[in-house]
Amino acid sequence: MAFTSHRPCSSSSSFVIFVLFFCFIIPCYAQIKGCPFDAIYNFGDGESAPPLRMLDHLAPAFHLPPPPSHYAKDGHFPFYYGTNFASRGSTIGGTPIFAEKHTQPQSQTHSLESQEYSFIKFLKSITSSPEQALEMLGRSLFIINEAGLNDYKNAFQHGKSVSEVYTYVPPVVAGIKVTLMGLIEDGATNILVPGSLPLGCLPGYTALFPSNDPTAYDAGKCDKELNSFAVLHNDHLQQALMVLREEFPHARIIYLDYYNAFMALLHNHAKSLVSDGFGLTEEALKSLVDTIISQKGFAYPEVEFPEVTHCVM
Element (H, E) at 145: strand 140-145
Asked whether the beta carbons of 254 and 191 are under 8 A apart, the reply is yes
The answer to whether 130 and 54 have CB atoms below 8 angstroms apart is no
Look at the domain 39-300 and name its fold.
Answer: Rossmann fold (3.40.50)
pLDDT at 210: 92
The residue extents of the domains of the chain are 39-300
Report CA-CA distances (Å) from 54 to 50, 123, 287: 9, 24, 11
Which of 131, 109, 123, 49 is CA-nearest to residue 79?
123
Full strand arrangement of the beta sheet holding 39-44: 82-84, 39-44, 140-145, 190-194, 252-256, 299-300
Angle between helices 258-268 and 224-247 (to 10 degrees): 140
Mean local confidence (pLDDT), 14-37: 45
Give the confidence band of 153 by pLDDT, cuts at 50, 70, 90.
very high
245-279 residue pLDDT tens: 999 999 999 999 999 999 988 877 655 566 668 88
Give the C-alpha separation, 104 to 106, whole Å: 7
How many Cβ atoms sit within 10 Å of the Cβ of residue 14?
Answer: 7
Q: pTM here?
A: 0.82
> Is residue 275 within 8 Å of 281, Cβ to Cβ?
yes
pLDDT of residue 58: 84
Q: Are 280 and 52 in contact (CB under 8 A)?
A: yes
296 pLDDT band, cuts 50/70/90, is confident
Pairing of strands 82-84, 39-44: parallel
Write the Ramachandran bin of 166: left for phi over 0, alpha for psi from -120 to 50, otherwise beta: alpha
Rama region for 84: left / alpha / beta (φ>0; ψ in -120 to 50; rest): beta
For the chain, the average pLDDT equals 80
Q: Is the per-residue pLDDT at 93 higher than 80? A: no
**CB burial readout 205-239, b (16+ within 10 A) else e:** bbebeeeeeeebbeeeebbeebbebbbbbbebbee
User: Would you state the pLDDT for residue 34?
Assistant: 60
Where are the alpha helices (H) located in the chain, listed in sequence order? 16-25, 55-61, 95-101, 112-126, 130-138, 149-157, 162-165, 169-186, 203-206, 224-247, 258-268, 282-294
Q: Given this model, what pLDDT does residue 196 score?
A: 95
pLDDT (0 to 100) of residue 270 = 56
* Mean pLDDT lowest among 37-46, 102-111, 215-224, 243-252: 102-111
